[in-house]
Amino acid sequence: MKFLKQFNLLFLALFLFVFNSTSVAQTKSAQLDQLLQKYFEYGKFNGSILVSFEDEILLNKGYGYANMEWEQNNAANTKHRLGSVTKQFTAMLILQLAEKGDLDLHKPISTYLPDYPKKVGQVVTAHHLLTHSAGIPNYTAIPGFIQSYSMDAFSPVEFLDFFKDLDLEFEPGTQFNYSNSGYFLLGYILEELTDMSYEDLLIQRIFEPLGMKNTGYDSHSAIIRNRAVGYEKSRRSYINSRYLDMSVPYAAGSMYSTTEDLAIWDAALYTTKLLNEKYMNIFLGPHQETKEGFYYGYGWGHGDLPIGTSSDLATVISHDGGINGFNTRITKIKADKALIVMLNNTGAAPLRDIENAILAVLYDKSFNQPKESLARETGILAEEGKYAEAIKFFEANLENEKYEFLESDINELGYQFLNVKNMKGAASVFEANMVRFPESFNVYDSYAEAMLYSGKRKQAIKYYERSLELNPNNQNGKDMLARMGVSYTEQPQIKLSSADMELYVGTYDMGQGFMIKVFQKDNTLFADATGQGTFELQPISDAKFLALGINANLSFLSENGKRITGLHVVHSEMDIKGKKLD
C-alpha cells in the first residue's frame, strides 16, 4: 500500500507538472495571438508569423490577406519574399565550399575570379564580403539605381558592371558598412566555382536535404502556389508594390519561404546536417563589430535586445529583410531554443516593436501594448465624408495616450483633407504636426502648402522659409518660393573644425536595439545607424545636423552646454532620444 501511495503521489506530481506546463504554453499562445490580432487590427502587421520556445511552437498562423484582390488569407504555408534573410543561405553555401576545401575564406577573391578588377579582387576576401567589411559600395544606394534599373533582368556577370569598377569606401576589414553588393558577388563566386546556378545550389544543397518544399528562388514568371502579393501602404489603404526583377537582389535577397520551412531551417542549425560542427560554429559565430555591443556574422546579426519594458536582455542571432512590398525578420535565441519568424507583405511593419513584445510574453515581462493610429481613425471618418466630425475627433484626441501620433501618418492625413480642398481640416492637422514635431522641416513645408492654397501668401512664405532653415536641401521649399517670386538667400554652410566634430563622435543607444554610431572621416561627420547604412551629417548649427539622403534632423544633447550626453533624432517615422555610450 505504501508503494502504491508513493506511486500515486509521483503520478499526481507528474500530472500536475505536465498540466501546468501545457497550461502555461496555452496561456502564452493565447497572449501572442491576442497581441498579433491587435497589431493586425491597427494596420501594423499583415502576414505570417511563427513563435516557438524551448522547441514548442506557441504560434504559427497568418493575419490579413496574402492576396487582397481575391481575399485570400495569409496562413502558415503562405510563401513570402524574404529579402535579406536570403543572405544567411548564401553564407551557408559559401561555408559548404570552405568545408570541402574548395574555397578559402581568407584568400583574395581574385584567387577564384582572376578577371575581376585587381584593385578590389586582390584585397577583398570572402570573409570580408560575408561580414560587410569589404568596403564595396552598396548598389542599392547608388543614386537613381532603384528607379532606373530594378525592373530590368540581368545575368550575374552583367550586373557586376554596376559596381565592380567602383573604388572601395575603406580598407577591407577596418569597418562595417552593410552592402548588398558583397552578397551579390558571393553568389557569382558560388556559380563560378561550382558551374551551377545559384538557384540550383540552393535546391540541391539546402532545400532538398532539409525537406524545405515551400522555399525557393522567386521569379515573376513562375507559377508559385500560395505566393503572397506584396503591397505598400497608401494613406488608409494599400497599393500593389513596385515591380522588381528578382535577378537584381539575386544572392542578396531573392528567396521566398514560409514560416514552417524557416522553422525547419532553424532546427537544422542545431545539427550537423549541412555543416560539420567546426564550420557550423563559424557560420553562427559573430565576426565583425558593427556598433557598441553588436556584431555581424555570416548572414546574421548578433547582439542583446531588450525584453519588453524591463531591463533584461535577450542574446539573439537575427536578421531583417526588406524588399518591395515585404519586410521580414528571423530571430533565434540559442539558450532557450526559441525562434521568432515574421513575414509581412504590406511593407514597413514595426517588426522590432512586435518582437520586443513577443519576447516579453515569452519571458513574462511587461511591455508596451500596440496603439491605434490617431491618423488612421481620423482618416476613416474623413473617407466617409464626415469631415467636420473627423476634425472634431482629431482635435479631441491629440493628447489621448490611447492613440499613436506619428509624423508621417499625420502628414498623410493632412493631405487627405488638402486633396478635397478642406483647408480648415488640412491646416488643423498640419499645425498639430508642427506643434508635436517642431524640429522637422517637412511639417513646416506641408503647413506652408496649406497656407498657400488657402490664399495666405505671407504665412506660406514664412513656413517655407522655416522649413529651409531646418533643411537647406529642401528643394520643394526653394521651388515654391521661386514660384511666388520670393528670392531666398541660402544660408552659408556652417563649417566645423575637426576638434568641434570630435565632440559628437561616439555611439548612441536609441533603445530597442537601435544604435547610431557617429564618426569623423575626411573632416566630415557621418552617422551609421542600425540597418540604415551610413549618412553624411550636414551642420545646420553648432549642435544640429541634417542626415543627408534621409532628411532626418539630429540634435546633440549636452550637459551644461559642454559634454555631449545624448542624441535627439527627428524623422517622419520617429522622434526619439538616446544616450551616449562612449
The set of cell numbers assigned to 308 is 519588453
CA distances to 256, 284, 443 from 297, rounded to whole Å, are 22, 7, 40
In Å, how far from its chain's centre is CA 239? 20
Please report which helix (H) or strand (E) contains residue 159, including its range: helix 156-159
| Strands 255-257, 237-240: pairing kind | unpaired
Burial class (CB in 10 A: 0-12, 13-18, 19+), 557: middle
The domain boundary, picked from 362, 381, 409, lies at 362
- Evaluate whether residue 274 is within a structural domain: yes
Q: What pLDDT does 19 receive?
A: 45
**Dist. CA 393–CA 566, nearest whole Å:** 36
pLDDT of res. 196: 97
Residue 379 lies in a domain: yes
Q: How far apart are CA 332 and CA 561, in angstroms?
A: 43
| The predicted structure's pLDDT at residue 14 | 47
Are 104 and 179 within one domain?
yes
Distance CA 428, CA 438 (A): 15
Residue 24 forms part of a structural domain: no
| SS3 of residue 34 by DSSP | helix
φ and ψ at residue 304, rounded to 5 degrees:
-105, 130
User: For the purposes of burial, counting CB atoms within 10 Å of the CB of 168, is it exposed (0-12), middle (13-18) or buried (19 or more)?
Assistant: middle
* Co-location of 149 and 211 in the same domain: yes
The pLDDT of residue 567? 86
Residue 219 DSSP symbol:
-
3-class DSSP state of 567: strand
Instruction: Examine the fold and report which residue of 483, 514, 547 is the final residue of a domain before the chain moves on.
Output: 483
CATH of the domain at 568: 2.40.128.50
Q: State whether 113 and 213 are in the same domain.
A: yes
184, 283: one domain: yes
Q: Is residue 108 part of a domain?
A: yes
The whole-number pLDDT of residue 558 equals: 82
The answer to the question of residue 37 being in a domain is: no
Quote the domain boundaries for residue 399: 372-483
Cα 554 to Cα 548: distance, rounded to the nearest angstrom: 11
CATH number at residue 448: 1.25.40.10
- Return the CATH number at 250: 3.40.710.10
Q: Same domain, yes or no, for 352 and 377?
A: no
Q: Are 410 and 432 in contact (CB under 8 A)?
A: yes
Give me the helices (H) in 168-312, please. Answer: 180-194, 198-202, 208-210, 259-268, 277-284
Asked whether residue 292 falls in the same domain as residue 332, the answer is yes
In whole angstroms, give the CA distance from residue 96 to residue 102. 9
Whether residue 62 is contained in a domain is answered as no
Domain shared by 129 and 192, yes or no = yes
End-to-end CA distance of the chain: 69
Q: What is the pLDDT of residue 75?
A: 97
Return all residues near 198 (Cβ < 8 A) that are at least 6 apart.
Answer: 90, 93, 156, 187, 190, 191, 217, 250, 251, 254
DSSP symbols for 125-138: BHHHHHTT-S-PPP
Instruction: Name residue 527's beta-bridge partners.
Output: 518, 535
Is residue 331 in a domain?
Answer: yes
Question: At residue 233, what are phi and psi to the nearest 5 degrees?
Answer: -70, 140
Residues 263 and 50: beta-carbon distance below 8 Å: yes
**173/203 same-domain check:** yes
Q: What is the model's pLDDT at position 9? A: 46
Q: Mind listing the pLDDT tens digit of every residue in the chain (582 residues)? A: 443 345 454 444 444 444 454 555 679 999 999 999 999 998 899 999 999 999 899 999 999 999 999 999 999 999 999 999 999 999 999 999 999 999 999 999 999 999 999 999 999 999 999 999 999 999 888 877 877 888 888 999 999 999 999 999 999 999 888 899 999 999 999 999 999 999 999 999 999 999 999 999 999 889 999 999 999 887 567 889 999 999 999 999 999 999 999 999 999 999 999 999 999 999 999 998 876 568 899 999 999 999 998 888 999 999 999 999 999 999 999 999 999 999 999 988 889 999 999 999 999 999 989 988 898 889 888 888 899 999 999 999 999 988 988 888 898 899 989 989 999 999 999 999 999 888 888 899 999 999 999 999 999 999 999 988 888 878 888 889 988 888 877 666 677 787 788 888 888 887 655 678 888 887 788 887 765 667 788 787 667 787 876 667 788 888 766 688 888 887 755 667 888 886
Instruction: Indicate if 175 and 103 belong to the same structural domain.
Output: yes
Based on the fold, state whether residues 352 and 406 are members of the same structural domain.
Answer: no
Sign of CA dihedral 179, 301, 56, 61: negative
pLDDT attached to residue 572: 57
- Let me know whether 469 and 442 are in one domain: yes
Of 295, 328, 362, at which residue does a domain stop? Answer: 362
Q: What is the predicted pLDDT for the residue at 21?
A: 46
Identify whether 293 is part of a domain.
yes
Q: Which residues of 351-369 are buried (b: 16+ CB within 10 A; e: fewer)?
A: bbbbbbbbbbbbbebebee
Q: How many domains does the chain have?
A: 3
CA 420 to chain centre: 34
Same domain, 209 and 287: yes
